Structure formats: structure tokens, C-alpha cells
A and B are shown apart, each in its own frame.
Chain A
Amino acid sequence: MAVNLSSAAPQPAGHYRSTKRSRREARAAYLFLAPWFVGLLVITIGPIIASLYLSFTDYNLLEEATWVGLDNYVKMFTEDPRYLNSLKVTTIYVVVSVPLQLAFALALALVLDRGLRGLTIYRSIFYLPSLLGGSVAIAILWRKVFGADGLVNAFLSVFGIEGTGWVSDPDTALGTLIILHVWTFGAPMIIFLAGLRQIPSSYYEAASVDGAGKFRQFRSITLPLLTPIIFFNLVLEIIKSFQSFTQSFIVSNGTGGPADATMFNTLYLYLSGFKHFDMGYAAAMAWVLLLIIAGLTGVNFLASKYWVFYGDEK
């Protein structure tokens, strides 16, 4: 490289220099990017390709993988009720918790947007659960709070209601996880707040001159102008909740119990791979999950044409 440079040096002619310089800069840029590219290839792309291959094999970790074609994919949908159950549990979780969480986030963002005194403090407090929500510590706390002798039941007993062990009852266990998810509304709330700030106040002034009430203003100004943000949050939260793992893993002690009531798809995948020594099957599940999420995201984008309003179209 040094030789190259010195031989190039004696002929500094016009525009050549600039291309050479830009080429050199490009080289430097690639050099700086190299560690990332290597990481991407080795840590992300490599395993992704390996997992695609493994999904067509019977692989128990201890012996060589043997090719079984589509067997894993067929088994999933024809002879594994636990897999179908895990899809059902995950779907319920996503369908219930995402809209609830977004509604919560939006409601709080609207309140905070009023310009309360000490806004930053409130904002931080409400954002806190988002930072903690995915953590192991909170999941353990959840088990205690919703346990038979937990905080929730202590509170209910004040009113003479005798609660159950919420986390360990199959009818309510998933509910506690949904509440945990809704509780982590901070991230979408912050994004909503930013979106609300972008709506020009002149719109509201004009509307109130025209005699529109608060609710009317919300429906006709805030909501339509906020649809891109709602869309953004919706897509991200759907993807995120499909991939939820920690909550169910910790709250159920890694079993998806009671009676598979909290068996998320990701948890079943994990158990299949590492506990049942069925890594090929687990890899196939991962790919189906990817397809499901990608498909849903695609549908979301298509549907967005009909309800998302970008402010500069009719």
C-alpha cells in the first residue's frame, strides 16, 4: 500500500487527484466498516443460513444432522398440538396486549402533552417500566406480586375478595403477562409525545375558532395527523411482542406453565432445541415465526394505505 501511494504521488493532475482522494476515502470507509461486516457475516448471516439448513434436518446437537426434507414443517402443523397451542397463546398475547398498550401510551402522551409542570419528571417515571419491563428482575417481581400471597391479593383482601394465585392459574396466567406488557408503555408513549409536538398549534386554534370541542379536535386533528406514528408503533410492537420470551420464561420457571397457558412460541422453540434435543425442529419453528412476522408486517403495510394519513395527500 505504501508503495502504491508513493508511485502515485509524483503526478498530481487536476481531477485525478479528487477521484483518487475519494477512492482512498472509500477504502478507509470500508476498512472502518470491515469489523461490522465480519460481525454481520459470522454472527448474523452465517447462523441464519445454518439455521435454514438445520430446519430441514433432524439434529439433536450430539450427533450429525440428517436431512429429513419438510418433515419438521409438516410435523408442526399436523401432529404437534403443543406447537399449535403456542401459536394460539402468542396470538392472544399480541392481539390483546398491543392495542391496549398503544391506547395506554397514547392516552398518557395526550395528558403529558398538556404542558404539565415537572413534565420531564413524569416522562421519566412513565418511561421507567419500559426500561425494566423486559428484565429478569421484573419478571421475578411479577411472580411475587401476582402470587397467591402477593401484593395484588393483599390489596383485594381489603375489599373482602379472596384472589387466586394469578400467575399459577391457567385461566389468569397469560393475563398477568399481558398486564406486564401493557405496563411497559413508555417507549411508544415517548414516540407519541414527539408526534404530538409536530402538530401545528394553529390547527387547534382554527378549530376552536370554528367552535370544535376538545373531543372533536382530537378526532379530526390529532388522530389523523398522528396515524403515521400510530402505524410506526403498531408495526414495531407487533414484531416485538411476537418475539417476547423473557417474561414467560421467568414467570413460568421456563416451563410455559401452568398447563402450557404461557407457552409462547419462542419459549416452545427454545425448549424444543435445548431441552428436547430437537434443534432441527426448533430451527424450523424459528423460520415459521419469521414468516409469520414478515407476513403480518407486509399485511400491515398494505393495510396502512387505507388508514394512515401523511398530511400531504387528499
Chain B
Amino acid sequence: MSSVKKTWSAALLATAVLAVTAACGSGGGDAGGAGDKIKLRFSYWGSDARQKMTEEAIKKFEAKNPTIDVEGEFSDFASYYETLSTKVAASDAPDVITIEIRGLREYADRGTLADLTGKVTTGDIDAKLLGSGSVDGKQYAIPTGANVFPLVVNPSLVEKSKAKMPDDTKWTWDEYVEWAGKITEGSGGSVYGTQLSWNPGFLEIYATQRGEKLYQGNKLGVSPQTLKDWWAIMQNMIKVKGSPDAAKTAEVGANSVDQSLLATNTGASGMWWSNQLGAASKAAGAELDLLRLPKTPDAASGGMFLQPAMFYTASSKSEHPAEAAKFIDFMINDPEAGGIILSDRGIPASSKVLAAVKDKLPPADQKVLTFMDSIKGELGDPVTAPPKGASAMEDMLKRYTEEIIFGRMTPDDAAQKFLTEANAALAG
């Protein structure tokens, strides 16, 4: 027999076993405590700019409360929820947790969050907005600020393409498609009329216009027909070249707003949460306007709603619940904190804080504020925390929309499959 063969086999087998079992390592570890001070951990996500502001606000809080030491736990958005769920699983949850509405019920129902009813002053917060942070009558979450979901438009590009700005109080989806197609045509193809969106906010508004709700209890509330018509808007838009072909649409759709068609001046409009207006204006180097989304011809309402930008919540396992509530109260209600954070976490929820910082807001957010005021009378019911599993909805809508625009599924088929999969995810 051959020894060469044996040596080879052994070496190979050993390497193979190693390679199969190779696992990812992970780092970690906590910094030491700070003397006899009470230590609060506060987790949030965002940009470097947000981190700087937050650190400044934390310093102010610590100056007012010398016995409390707040430690910010900061990460980028992409990895935020992964890190958070791992910390919670390891019984190492931060005392104060920033969270979005889509994951709220997930954490609240599973006993992770403390009831903040009566622990944080909420008198200056719009009742509809505040209601979005309550689950089954308990105020688990305090909204930091509000957003709306409008169509962001670059008027100068619209004009250059020999189109007119629409009357957004009564335009329809058909008119929107036609309008976008005209812009592309009028610009000779150098500017697209719009960039498609498949954001759940868009579907929510569209469903409301047809008298449906995105979520109904533990299920989706949209009918298959509504989904089909919703996707038809996108199909038509691509057909009239109001937006780029499927591949490019999917590509720009995956980018952040500062790489959108609007931001690169190759698109005249697009739908985003209003807190993106500043970034979009800056990237485009142009004055941008906000419009109401179009309506269905016999729409009961415009469907626009106030969306909580994010929430502050407190861990139910926190050893210092009173201090955690105190910190949240400071971040929400203290004009000094508001003066630092401004509109970084949405247009401030507290009307008192808003009044104090109004003039200091950047121009883009002043515009958002004006827009919010102008649609105040049309706003729909307050949003409620969606059922568990709703965090997966955004990716799911994206996937099915891609199946449709690439023509790999018919809208009929996609609507059925989407509803089945989504309801299974929500129930599970």
C-alpha cells in the first residue's frame, strides 16, 4: 500500500474537517463601571453626526444628574437589530432602547419592555402620535418625533422637462404615471419622472385610500385586488418610462436616498419618509418640495398619516427603571436636549420642545413642518404597532415587487403568494 496516499488523505481529511467546522469568531466585552454612579446603557443607531449630537445631549443630562452615568451603545442601522436581539437574548439588554414601530410589538409582547405609563411626561405630545407607542393600552414606547410619507419633487427638473407641477390635492395615480412619463420624455431621457418605491408606507397609504388597513389584527388587511392595483401602478410606470427599467429600478431602490435618482439629478421625484428630505436636498444641491401622494379616484381619504420616527423604550429588566424613565423624559421633553438633537429623530414630538427649537431647524425640516401643518386636517387614524413579524414585511414587499417588475410572476399569482407568506410570518 502507499504511504504517500495515506499522508495525503490524512492531511486532506484534517484540513477538510477544520474547514467544515470553522466558525465565525466574535468579539465583545464590556467596559468597567464608573465608581458608585448609577450606570445607564442607551442603545441607538445612526450616522456619525447623530452620535455626536447624542453624546452632547448625554453630557447635558449627566451635568444635570451627576449621579447618573449614561453610556451610549451606538451602531449602524444595518446591524442594530441583530445586536439588540442578541443582547436581549443574553439577558444583557440596555436600560434605554431605541426602537422602530415595526419591531415594537415583537419586543413588547415578549416582555422585554417596561410600561412607561405615568413615568414619562407625555402631555405635550400629539395624542395620535403618542398612541402609536402604546400596545394593548400600555405605553411601552415614547415617540421621539414624527415623519410623513410624501412624494419628494425637484420642481426645477420638472420645469426643465417642460412638465407642470401637479395639484397634489386632487391628482390621481393615473395622472401621476402620465406626469412622470411626460417628464422623462420632455427631458429627452436624461431625467426620469420618478423612482419607484415599494415602501410599506406607500402600501399603507394606498390601502387606506381604498378603505382598507395594511394590518388587521394579526393579519394583513389588504385585499388581493388592492395589491394587484398597487403593483399595476409600478408596471405602468415602467411601461411609460416614467421610471427606469426593472434592473435599474431594483438597483437604485437598494441604495440609500443620497444615491437615489433624485439626489443625482437624474430623477424628478420619489417617495421617502420626510426625515430624508435634508439628505436628499443636500445631495441634489437643489430646492425640493413635498407633495401629497396621489389618490384613487373615489378615495375616502388621502391616507397620509403621522409615523413615529422612532421610540425610546426602557428594558423591563433594568435595575434602574426610575433613572431610565428620567433619561427618556429628558430626551423627549427638555428643550435643551431638543436644541441639540433638533429634527435628527423626526420633527420633535413634544410641542413645547418644537416651539423652542422651531427656528433652529434646518431649512429642509422647516419645510417638512410646514407640509405637516398643511395636511393636519387630512391625517388618518393614528398608526398602531403592527403585529409581530412585521419587521419582515419590507423585505417581503421588495422581493415580490421585484418578481413583478421583472415579469417573473403575474400580479395575480404574486398577490396570493404574498398574502399567504405574509400572514404566515405575522402569525408565527
Chain A residues with a Cβ under 8 A of chain B: 43-44, 47-48, 60-63, 147-148, 164-171, 228, 231-232, 235-236, 239-240, 243, 252-255, 257-260, 271, 274-279, 290, 293-294, 297, 301, 310-313
Contact = CB atoms under 8 A, between A and B. Distances in A.
B24 to A, nearest CB: 9
Given A243-B22, A301-B13, 4 more contacts: A62-B106, A165-B250, A165-B251, A257-B254
Interface stretch (B2-10, B291-299, B332-340, B346-354): B2-10
A311 B399 CA distance: 53
A62 B16 contact: no
B254 A253 contact: yes
A71 to B, nearest CB: 12
B112 interface: yes
B15 A258 contact: no
Given A165-B250, A169-B247, A170-B406, A310 B2 contact: yes
A62 B112 contact: yes
Given A62-B107, A259-B406, A275-B81, A232 B398 contact: no
B12 interface: yes
Interface size bucket, B side?
Answer: 35 or more
B402 A62 contact: no
Contact of A312 (B4, B88, B110, B248): B4
23 contacts: A44-B23, A48-B21, A61-B89, A62-B88, A62-B89, A62-B107, A63-B110, A148-B247, A148-B248, A164-B247, A165-B251, A167-B251, A168-B251, A171-B406, A228-B8, A239-B19, A255-B254, A257-B402, A275-B81, A275-B392, A276-B391, A293-B20, A297-B20
Contact of A239 (B20, B111, B246, B391): B20
A143 B60 CA distance: 43
Contacts of B251: 147-148, 165, 167-168
B408 interface: yes
Contact of A310 (B4, B110, B112, B398): B4
Contacts of A301: 9, 13
B251 to A, nearest CB: 4
Given A62-B85, A228-B8, A274-B82, A257 B250 contact: yes
Contacts, number: 119
Contacts of A235: 12, 16
Contact of A43 (B5, B25, B81, B245): B25
A278 B254 CA distance: 25
Given A60-B110, A239-B20, A231 B395 contact: no
Contact of A311 (B4, B106, B402, B403): B4
Contact of B88 (A61, A243, A253, A311): A61
Given A62-B85, A240-B19, A312-B4, A255 B395 contact: yes
A313 B20 contact: no
B389 interface: yes
Interface in B69-127: 78, 81-82, 85-86, 88-89, 106-107, 110-112
Contacts of B8: 228, 232, 310
B77 to A, nearest CB: 11
A297 B15 CA distance: 12
Contacts of A166: 247
Contacts of B22: 243
B385 to A, nearest CB: 15
A62 B107 CA distance: 8
A257 B398 contact: yes
B425 interface: yes
Contacts of A279: 89
A145 to B, nearest CB: 13
Nearest to A60: B110
A290 B22 CA distance: 11
